[in-house]
Structure 1
Amino acid sequence: MTVRGGGGWGFAYALLVSGVIVTVGASAVWPQITLVAGALTLGCAAVGLVLVARTQRIVASILMLLGIASLIIGLALGGEVTTLSALSVNQDLIGMLTAVSFLRLVTPVPTETRSRLRGAPAVVRTAVATHALGAVINLGAVGIVGDHLRGSSKLRLPDAAMLSRAYSAAAFWSPFWAAAAAATSLVPGANSLVLILVGLPLALVAICLSCFDIFRMWGSDLRGYTGYTLGWALIRIPLALVALVVLAHQVWPEVPVPRIVLLAALAVTLVGLLLQKPNGALRRLARHARYDLPNLRGEVTLFASAGILAVGLRVLFPMVSIGLPFTSFTVPVAWACLVVMVLFALIGVHPVVSVAVVAAIALPLNPDPTLFVLAASIGWGVSTSVGPLTGLTMFLHGRYGIDSIALTRRNFVYLAIVLAAAWPALWLCETLVS
């Protein structure tokens, strides 16, 4: 079902999502307005069920029904729920993701330039370019680089594997990804600077090590590989945004990171548009809100329905005695949580659902927020690359005809690298925050 153009439902959806962006941004200075944002998010979930495709509608409906059932059972067992808790339905996450989509308005279109690098260095450069763009503009980066690599022919499996690994590793550290935002909304208080200091090196190590596997996949064709050229124009916006978010979080540590990211993304977009063409800046913002935001209905509806599930699980799980073999959230427990998320992904469960389940189990252990968010972000990122039914895998299949199962199998090497490197990264995180 195509919504661009809109009709009545599309227009209503654009208003609801725009309302979420405005109220989540306003809650950075007026926290109570998050209740309004939560109510608008529930509206997005309801209208989204009308707009999304049949499969997405079924998945979202199941998540909502499970959340409502868990809430009812939890209340029947003596659980309690406040208005704030009932309306904490991933509105910060949704507001951030939809606000970040405005950055496409100021992201420069890559120009065709003749590459001087060939072979293995060109593969590494292409992976870094995908990672840098993906850290900010998310899945759009895969389309930009993938279209360039495909050219007039078919995207090959080694390129698809490289794209999936380099892109998904951005979840390990990027504050602009849904991963950290979702985990932070469930366990607030993570230190964004520590997440970047630990997560970014982990991502680069994972990408560089997995590139050796990509070299082998190319075989004799590696020598003539030119890949994608990364220019300063493409990385200056990601660098500026990361610096702005980290600085703002250090100045206002009490403001949740997703809200800071939302405001930073809108500010950078507005400044960029004013510098490009002052007279048409507001018109382009309005056009994006009206016609492009409804095209995010699949993600928004999924995240909102997962938020409803999380509300129910938060009420139900404390009422149910779960015999855990540990009493505190240590590095081994954090590592086990990300492994559980990967196992969920392999059977087709979206990371936004698995992180809600893992958080509900971990909350009674009073986890350190930074350690939990890092573990969840790593689990989310690697799940995105190895899950056969994730948004990334389905995008590569739908746009480029990549076999999802074949890609999942090839990425098991990457999975092993990340799982091995994640343990020392989690240990370093625990050391820095303790």
Structure 2
Amino acid sequence: MRLLYALLLSGIILCVGLSALLPSATLVAGGLTIAAAAAGLVLVTRTQRIIALLLIGVGLASVVLSIQLGSNINGRDLLSVNQDLIGMLTAVSFLRLITPTALTTRTRLHGRLAVVRTALATHALGAVINIGAVSIVGDHLRGRSPLRLADAALLTRSFSAAAFWSPFWAAAAAATTLVPGANSLVLLLVGLALALVAIGLSVWDIFHLWGRELPAYTGYSLTWALVRVPLALVAIVITAHQLFPAVSVPRIVLLAGLGVTLIGLLIIDGRGALRALARHARHDLPQLRGEVTLFASAGVLAVGLRMLLPLFDLPLPVSEFTVFVAWTMMLAMILLALVGVHPVVSVAIVAALVQPLHPDPTLFVLAACIGWGVSTAVGPITGLTMLLSARYGISSSTLTRRNLVYLAAVLVTAWPALLLCAALV
């Protein structure tokens, strides 16, 4: 079953990549995604299976109800089940093959500067290789003793802020799939500025958490070897999107990630490059079954909501998608995360609700990315908090309460960021 699952995910990557040139290939990718969701139901844990079945059930019920109410069936819409998002996430996982996992240099930084350096290193890694960065940095910070709450808070905030701007995160891919046409350069500039401000505000709280132990803190090194891959990928994605605006960002990210990985492997070990890729596809891709099953199930839910909600004349209290509406949408995603709703589900819900307002794509995507990032840090049962709980013994509820400071900081700073975004577009 794991081999079949690996083949399905590899097929999704291939078809999503091909759809950049042959748009009809996305339909094949959609079919493979549905098959991967079905196979994933067998492979995931009981809790994940229940959540996936609930999302699929609500989605299919919405499709059936919308058909009974007279909605037209479009095969392309039925096969739009987050395949671009899943293809991008699985393709980006190959970058771990060329990302350094250990310190390559020693520095003399201690105390506050070491905290800032650790935050930036986590952010740089997390922007590209996603949650794998948390394990890489967390294992080093832990050493031979339990991970401290201060380090756990620093990891969650520095990592989750990457969702504000990184095109390699599921947040941007999911949002652009739901509302395509966003300006990637504006998202990068505004989102990155907000992320740096949020991290800057967060480290002051971390300083207080360490107390008298702060002067001895050494943290994790930020080296050229660590940041060169993220910088190269961001440059490639932004340039390619400007040259080929018709190609969606998730597809560009997929192709860029695979291309950079292949080039890096050829430089490191030319003869073993293909073997390394095949080994990752066979053994590591199936480990993403939890995320893939969740995102595919949420894709089915999104299909149903997109078909059903337009059939009802839902009275919205606003007539256009303003900065206030975008900020409120972001807040709604965060509140849903606090009660256990994954952001991939909440973004599909809010997208369906604001669709009649014809939201500006850039403003919508930025608000969704901010909401997704903060939800990742404060949600008590998100993948990030569950990882820290299972791997390092950090209490999810304790970490959520501690990160409410981060939540407040982002809620305040997100307003001017959204205003700037609206002005630039």
TM-score normalised per structure 1:
0.97
Corresponding residue number in structure 2 for 1:135: 127
State the AA in 2 paired with 1:199. G
Structure 1 consecutive aligned stretches of length 4 or more whose deviation exceeds 6 Å: none
Shift of 1:113: 4.1
- Aligned partner of residue 213 in structure 1, secondary structure: helix
The answer to whether the aligner puts 1:125 opposite 2:117 as a matched pair is yes
Deviations 1:282-323 (A, max 9, x none): 111111111111110000000000000000000110112211
Corresponding residue number in structure 2 for 1:328: 320
- Cα distance in 2 for partners of 1:357, 1:238 equals 31
Please give the residue correspondences for 1:366-377 in structure 2 after superposition, counting only pairs within 5 Å.
366-377=358-369
Shift of 1:109: 2.8
State the AA in 1 paired with 2:127. A
Corresponding residue number in structure 2 for 1:3: none
Please give the residue correspondences for 1:334-349 in structure 2 after superposition, counting only pairs within 5 Å.
334-349=326-341
Corresponding residue number in structure 2 for 1:54: 46
Shift of 1:80: 2.3
Shift of 1:112: 5.8
- Cα distance in 2 for partners of 1:149, 1:404 equals 19
Deviations 1:18-48 (A, max 9, x none): 0000000000011111000000000000000
Shift of 1:74: 1.4
- Aligned partner of residue 31 in structure 1, secondary structure: coil
- Cα distance in 2 for partners of 1:405, 1:57 equals 24
RMSD across aligned positions (CA): 0.7
- Aligned partner of residue 125 in structure 1, secondary structure: helix
Corresponding residue number in structure 2 for 1:228: 220
In the alignment, is the contact (CA less than 8 A) between 2:104 and 2:223 conserved in 1?
Answer: no
Corresponding residue number in structure 2 for 1:312: 304
What is the aligned-residue identity percentage? 68
- Cα distance in 1 for partners of 2:198, 2:297 equals 32
In the alignment, is the contact (CA less than 8 A) between 1:110 and 1:234 conserved in 2?
Answer: no
Q: Which residue of the other structure, out of 74, 79, 86, is the alignment partner of 2:78?
A: 86
In the alignment, is the contact (CA less than 8 A) between 1:329 and 1:367 conserved in 2?
Answer: yes
- Cα distance in 2 for partners of 1:24, 1:402 equals 37
Corresponding residue number in structure 2 for 1:215: 207
Deviations 1:158-184 (A, max 9, x none): 100000000000000000000000001
Q: Which residue of the other structure, out of 262, 265, 269, is the alignment partner of 2:254?
A: 262
The answer to whether the aligner puts 1:426 opposite 2:418 as a matched pair is yes
In the alignment, is the contact (CA less than 8 A) between 2:103 and 2:220 conserved in 1?
Answer: no
Gaps of 5+ in 2: none
State the AA in 1 paired with 2:337. A
The answer to whether the aligner puts 1:195 opposite 2:196 as a matched pair is no
The answer to whether the aligner puts 1:356 opposite 2:342 as a matched pair is no
Gaps of 5+ in 1: 1-8
- Cα distance in 2 for partners of 1:311, 1:335 equals 25
- Cα distance in 1 for partners of 2:42, 2:154 equals 36
State the AA in 2 paired with 1:73. L
The answer to whether the aligner puts 1:64 opposite 2:50 as a matched pair is no
- Aligned partner of residue 98 in structure 1, secondary structure: helix
Please give the residue correspondences for 1:234-313 in structure 2 after superposition, counting only pairs within 5 Å.
234-313=226-305
State the AA in 2 paired with 1:81. I
